[in-house]
Amino acid sequence: MLRLLKVTGNSLTPRFQTGDFVIVSKIPFFFAPVKAGDVVAFHQPGYGTLIKLVESLDPVSGELTVTGTQPESVDSRVFGPVKKSALLGKVIWHVAKPR
């Protein structure tokens, strides 16, 4: 139900940076569906476990368009929409690396 993950990469800077820890969970989805603005972790074939910002949700297919906060982010522009079944959870706790 809860999963502890370590962030690597720069596509969500400055909000999330390499070395930060996050706890993700599917529990919030029992109370409210995933929505634009959520930060989610998911499994993407060929890339592994990714953490991205939800940009939009297709009302028909339920697939998510995910993005980063940096122009160079590799996201749905590169690998297309993300299926809900690939979601590992929503970020419910963020522990930033001391800077």
Partner 1 sequence: MIYKLFQAIDQTLGIQQAKAHCDVPCGIYDPIVAQISALTVVRMIDLMTDLEGKGGEKNKEYFNSMARYVAVKEEHAEKAKAEIRVIWGDFLKAQHLEKHPDTHALVHKIMQLGSKSRQAVDREAAVQFVEAINEFAQIFWEAKGVATKRAKAPYAPALELVYPAL
Residues that bind partner 1 (CB under 8 A): 3-13, 16, 18, 21-22, 24, 41, 47-52, 55, 67-74, 77, 95-98
Choose between 29 and 49: whose C-beta lies nearer to partner 1: 49
Any idea what DSSP says for residue 86? G
In the complex, minimum distance from the CB of residue 67 to partner 1, in angstroms, rounded to a whole number: 7
3-state secondary structure of 76: helix
In the complex, minimum distance from the CB of residue 82 to partner 1, in angstroms, rounded to a whole number: 13
User: How many other CB atoms sit within 10 Å of the CB of residue 64?
Assistant: 25
User: How many other CB atoms sit within 10 Å of the CB of residue 29?
Assistant: 15
